[in-house]
Amino acid sequence: MKINPNYLGRLFTEQELSPEEQQLAEKLPSMRKEKGKLFCQRCDSMIQDEWSLPINAHYCRECLLMKRVRSDQALYYFPQEDFPKQDVLKWKGQLTPFQEKVSEGLLQAVESQQPTLVHAVTGAGKTEMIYKVVAKVINDGGAVCLASPRIDVCLELYKRLQNDFACEIALLHGESEPYFRTPLVVATTHQLLKFYHAFDLLIVDEVDAFPYVDNRMLYNAVKNCVKENGLSIFLTATSTDELDKKVRLGELKRLSLPRRFHGNPLIIPKPVWLSELDSCLEKLRLPARLRSYIEKQRKTGYPLLIFASEIKKGEKLKEILQLQFPNEKIGFVSSVTEDRLEQVQAFRDRELTILISTTILERGVTFPCVDVVVVEANHRLFTKSSLIQIGGRVGRSMDRPTGDLIFFHDGLNRSIKNAIQEIKLMNKEAGL
C-alpha cells in the first residue's frame, strides 16, 4: 500500500486512519505524564480528571474539534518529504532600502538557523519583505507555511501570494477546502495542530493578535509543526512582553522596520472627547460632535471606516447613520456577519462609502485613502495593540499617505495614551 502524499507532514488520531495506514505511519504517545498530570501531545493542554471515558481512558477536550485524542490510543504522523527544486517567485517589484535590509536579515536567519522577530510598523510592506526567504526555501525543495490567528489576514495573504508565486498554495481555515500537499501553505494558527514536523520555514504574522497571544495550545502547535532543523519567523507591528523577553534572552533575533514603504510617518491619533453616546443612540441620533465630524468628512469623498466596541452598538450606528445620511451606502461587519468578505470587498471597490466594523477589521486588511474613526476608544476591548493596528489602516496608500485618525472617548485611558506614545516612538526611530 502506498502512502497518500497528502498525509506527509500531517498528524492523525487513530480513528482517522485505516489499520493499513496505521502500519505505514510513525507513532507518538497521545499523552505524556508530568508530575502526576496528563498532557495532550497534540495541543499541550493539561487533561482534567473529569475529561474521562467510561472505558477507563481520558480524552482532550481542548482540541476536540480536530478529532478526539484519547489516552488509550496513539497519535500517528507521516514524515515530510522534500519537494522538487523549482523557481517560484513571480514578483518583480522593488523593495525600499529599509525593506531590503530586513529581507536580507531573514535570508541570513535561514542560513544561521536563527529564530527571528520582525517588528515592522503597519503599512511597512511586511508581505513583500518575506518573499525572498519564502522563495529560497521552496526553490531548495523545502516546505513553507504562512500562518496568522485571523482568517481575514490569511485570505488577504492568500490572494497576494497567488499573484506573486508560481506554485500551488493550500489555504486552511475552519471552513476551507481540504488540505492538499504543496510547498506553500497559508493557514490560521489553529490549523497548525494538524501538522507535525512538516515545515522547513514557518512565518507567523500578527503574533500579538487574539487568539494566538498568550495561548499555550497555539504556541505548542507552532513548535510542533516545524521540522527539528526548521525555522520560525514572527511578524508583528506591536510586540508582546513574551516576545520582548525572548529578544532580551537572545532566543529571538529582532529585525526592525520603523518606516512605511512610501516613507511617510505613521498617522498620530487625535483623541476627541465624546460624551453621552449611549443615551444618544437610544434616541436614534448621533452625538453632535460625531455627526459634525461625519458631515465634514463625507464632503471629502474619501471612504470612512468606523470602529465600534460591540456588535449591538455597531448595528445601532449603522441604523442611525442610514437615517441621517440617506445618500451614503453603509455596511456593517463583525465576526458573525455572513457576507463579511463581500462587504469588505464592496468597501474596497468604493461601492460602500461608510463601513462600520468591530475589531474584526483591526488588522490585515488594506483600504486605500481611508479615514478612520474609533467610537468609545477607551472601551476595554480596544487594547494598545488593537488601537495601533486600527491606526495602521490610515495612510497606507501612496496616493494618500495621510488621513484622519480620530479616537472618540469619554476619558483618556492607558491604552489610548500608550498607543499614541508608541506610534510617536516608531516615527522617531524612523527619523520622521
Predicted local confidence at residue 104, as pLDDT: 96
DSSP-assigned letters across all residues of 205-232: --TTSTTTTT-HHHHHHHHHHEEEEEEE
Task: Report d(CA 394, CA 404) in Å as an integer.
Answer: 7
Task: Report d(CA 285, CA 323) in Å as an integer.
Answer: 9
Task: Report d(CA 215, CA 217) in Å as an integer.
Answer: 6
Predicted local confidence at residue 237, as pLDDT: 83
Domains recognised in the chain with CATH numbers: 5-77 (no CATH), 97-257 (3.40.50.300), 270-429 (3.40.50.300)
Task: Report d(CA 383, CA 388) in Å as an integer.
Answer: 9
Predicted local confidence at residue 240, as pLDDT: 73
Radius of gyration for the alpha carbons in the chain, expressed in angstroms and rounded: 23
Per-residue pLDDT of the chain (432 residues; tens, 9 = 90+): 789 999 999 999 999 999 999 999 999 999 999 888 999 999 999 999 899 999 889 999 988 888 999 999 999 999 999 999 999 999 999 998 889 999 999 999 999 999 999 988 888 888 999 999 999 999 999 999 999 988 888 988 999 999 999 999 999 998 889 999 999 999 999 999 999 999 999 999 877 766 666 678 888 889 999 999 999 999 988 877 777 888 899 988 999 888 888 888 999 999 999 999 999 999 999 999 999 999 999 999 999 999 999 999 999 999 999 999 999 999 999 989 989 889 999 999 999 999 999 998 887 788 989 999 999 999 999 999 899 999 999 998 888 999 999 999 999 999 999 999 989 988 998 887
What does each C-alpha distance from 201 to 105, 293, 380, 414 come to in angstroms?
A: 15, 47, 36, 37
Q: What is the pTM of this model?
A: 0.82
